[in-house]
């Protein structure tokens, strides 16, 4: 039994549907104590009952909107507890739409949940994990983090959402490198289209009613979680559940190294002459 399988406390945000729900039930089956965080109290109650039946050592629920500073502070305090050895930052909202037209407050919520909360909760969790000599953080991002200037045909209009997920990828990879010699693992999961209810709302308000799946379909959330947990145990920092050619991540790192060679003291010739002063 590895340290990440061992019964301990796992805190899962965005637990009331989709990928978060799957993490919760899978970790419950491993005998963990769970702290479940989401905005929808009714969904959390149903999940708590399911997790208990699945074998959870105990279940706590925290009804919280991570876009609200006071709620984020409550969750950060709990994740800093000395029993928490796994944090799953799954909460996220999309705020899809043309950048110039999407409500600015909604875009602020996207950043608060997808970037600020993810960072704050990781910061609250990691010091204690380091002190205890064990722990892991899983950040759920998206393949849209790599979408860049790909056209929005068949893709959402996504500038802020994709940017927030790009942050999650870079933050996680950089932190994983910083902690490479420490007993704490960090992983970012980048699923493609997943069969959840994520596309049924923009994130300004929770999706109402029972759990369901958007019409677009996609990979089952259970498969995303299976890949993530398997990758965590093998030390995979960037987990792309549907990626068959795993060395694509290494090629990305090599391309980034090429870009970093642009940090020299001289301007590239294509921008003008660099061997004499401009007149």
Which residues are annotated as catalytic? Answer: 161
Strand, helix or coil for residue 18: helix
Neighbours of 98 (CB within 10 A): 9
- Cα within 13 Å of Cα(247), Cβ side: 0
Neighbours of 16 (CB within 10 A): 28
For the chain, the residue count is: 279
- Cα within 13 Å of Cα(263), Cβ side: 6
Structure tokens given for 107: 């875009």
Contact indicator for 121, 172 with CB cutoff of 8 Å? no
- 206-214 long-range contacts, CB within 8 A, separation 24+: 206/16, 206/39, 206/40, 207/17, 211/17, 211/18, 211/21, 211/43
Question: What residues pair up with 177 in beta bridges, in sequence order?
Answer: none
Strands annotated E in 64-132: 84-89
User: How far does CA 224 lie from the centroid of its chain?
Assistant: 12
């Amino acid at each position: 039994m590895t340290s990440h399988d061992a019964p301990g406390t796992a805190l899962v945000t965005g637990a009331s549907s989709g990928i978060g729900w799957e993490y919760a039930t899978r970790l419950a089956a491993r005998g963990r104590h769970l702290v479940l965080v989401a905005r929808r109290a009714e969904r959390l109650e149903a999940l708590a009952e399911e997790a208990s039946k699945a074998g959870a050592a105990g279940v706590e629920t925290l009804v919280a909107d991570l876009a609200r500073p006071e709620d984020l502070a409550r969750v950060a305090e709990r994740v800093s507890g000395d029993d928490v050895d796994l944090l799953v930052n799954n909460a996220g909202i999309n705020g899809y739409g043309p950048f110039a037209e999407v409500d600015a407050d909604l875009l602020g919520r996207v950043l608060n949940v997808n970037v600020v909360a993810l960072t704050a909760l990781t910061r609250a969790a990691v010091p204690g994990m380091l002190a205890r000599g064990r722990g892991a953080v899983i950040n759920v991002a998206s393949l849209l983090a790599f979408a860049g200037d790909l056209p929005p045909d068949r893709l959402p209009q996504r500038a802020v959402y994709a940017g927030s997920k790009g942050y999650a990828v870079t933050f996680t990879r950089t932190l994983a490198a910083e902690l490479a010699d420490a007993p704490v693992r960090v992983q970012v999961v980048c699923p493609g289209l997943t069969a959840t209810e994520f596309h049924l709302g923009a994130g300004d308000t929770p999706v109402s009613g029972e759990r369901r799946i958007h019409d677009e379909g996609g990979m089952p959330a259970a498969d995303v979680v299976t890949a993530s947990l398997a990758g965590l145990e093998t030390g995979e920092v960037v987990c792309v559940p549907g990626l068959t050619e795993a060395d694509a991540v290494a090629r990305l790192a090599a391309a980034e190294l090429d870009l970093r060679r642009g940090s020299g003291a001289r301007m590239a010739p294509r921008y003008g002459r660099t061997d004499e002063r401009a007149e």
